[in-house]
Chain A
């Protein structure tokens, strides 16, 4: 069965420090992986995706993510956290190939960046 796990409900980091939000997945075939961010009472905003190619993907607002096929992971990273990065982060996966547009969503990780 396809699934996405975000093992940490909450991540706390000091402003200026690097941050990592973890995501692991289980899917048959090649995965299409996505990260989204959600601010309070707002919709989700797309940050970045991995489809194929370079394992290090760069996205919006200075975020990047590293695809690791052997560990089935797609961790979100940022070298220097900002207070404004505090939000809820979602990882999602779609099985590559075919016509399947449904996404499998993680439960979200709440990131708190402390000044």
Chain B
């Protein structure tokens, strides 16, 4: 079945540590997105990529970094500069050529501070 796989499901970060969240899709979608979800705040866009080797900052990019070396993969690194990283992180993808198409989501990674 086609879909988006996020791993790990749960992740713990120590102070001063960078951690990387994985997002892989086999939907052949060009566009991919990373969102942060906090209770009562809805979804906030961290980074998005419309094509391989290109990505743009979203609304809350500070303290995060991404890469898009392959169409299928869009990993997110939460750096030590992100002082409040505890949240639920969601990866999504959509058909690149069609802006009327919905985004498809993975099942998220819950990041906590040790």
Contacts and interface: CB of A to CB of B under 8 A. Distances in A.
- If over half of B's interface residues share one DSSP class (helix, strand or loop), that class is named, otherwise mixed; here it is strand
Contacts of A100: 99
Q: Give the secondary structure class of A's interface.
A: loop
Interface stretch (A13-21, A79-87, A105-113): A105-113
Interface residues of B, number: 27
A98 B100 CA distance: 11
Interface in A10-44: 32, 34, 36, 41-44
B102 A49 contact: yes
- The bracket for how many chain A residues form the interface is 20 to 34
A111 B99 CA distance: 29
B42 A90 contact: yes
Contact of B45 (A36, A42, A102, A108): A102
A57 interface: no
Interface in A89-104: 90, 94, 96, 98-103
Interface of B: 4, 6, 31, 40-45, 48, 50, 58, 88, 90, 92, 94, 96, 99-100, 102-108, 110
